[in-house]
Amino acid sequence: MRTYLDAKAMAKSLREAMRETGVDVSHSAVLELVARQFGLPNWNVLSARIEGENAADVKAAAAGAAAFGFEPPVPIVRIFDEAKAREFYCGFMGFRVDWEHRFGDDFPLYCQVSRANVKLHLSEHAGDATPGGNMVVFMTGLAAFNAELKAKNYRYMKPGIQAQDWGDEMQVTDPFNNRMRFIERRAV
């Protein structure tokens, strides 16, 4: 059963059905009809509800659908050399080390690095990840980030930006052949 969160889809479906019967109704008129179907005075009230002005209703609906939530994933990236990993991720990419773990002296490193909202787990443990991984990081300000990286004059990586159908993309490959694709999506 549809709820008010499906209002735009309902309006589109209603307008198409009316066209099939020879009745041409404007999009705004159909939106007003859908609002009335929900017992609301007009589209503005329904739109405010959809956009979250009545956040309690939205949260209650979401809580009824699922009693759990997800956080952004944290990829595990296989590394082989701690010094090269620090040079690349901290020196070149601008990440900081949040924490480190080793099971003992002279054991493999497992650590978290982060920059803004991006968190990565770097691991020297053979079973944690496969070298040559590929990840996507959606972002804004790709040109500025690219300029920052170029200014560092890192001898092993000179990334550029390429225009793709989905947006501008900059690929960066770490010393262990793991690729990070930074993408700034195109406005639709």
Report the distance separating Cα 46 and Cα 50, nearest Å: 6
Report the distance separating Cα 46 and Cα 34, nearest Å: 9
Q: Which of 74, 113, 116 is nearest to 96 (CA)?
A: 113
Higher-confidence position of 48 and 120: 120
Report the distance separating Cα 84 and Cα 165, nearest Å: 34
Strands (E) across 10-71 are located at none
Report the distance separating Cα 148 and Cα 117, nearest Å: 18
- Give the helix/strand (H/E) hosting 144: helix 142-151
Tens digit of pLDDT for each residue in 79-117? Answer: 999 999 999 999 999 999 999 999 999 999 999 999 999
Q: Please, what are the domains in the chain?
A: 4-65 (no CATH), 76-185 (3.10.180.10)
Q: Which of 137, 52, 150 is nearest to 159 (CA)?
A: 150
For residue 135, the cross-strand partners are: 180
* Tokens matching residue 37: 């179907």
Tens digit of pLDDT for each residue in 40-83? Answer: 788 777 777 777 645 555 565 555 566 788 889 999 999 999 99
Split at pLDDT 50, 70, 90, the class of 31 is: confident
Query: Considering Cα of 127, then 132, then 133, then 138, what sign does the dihedral take?
Result: positive
For residue 179, the cross-strand partners are: 134, 173
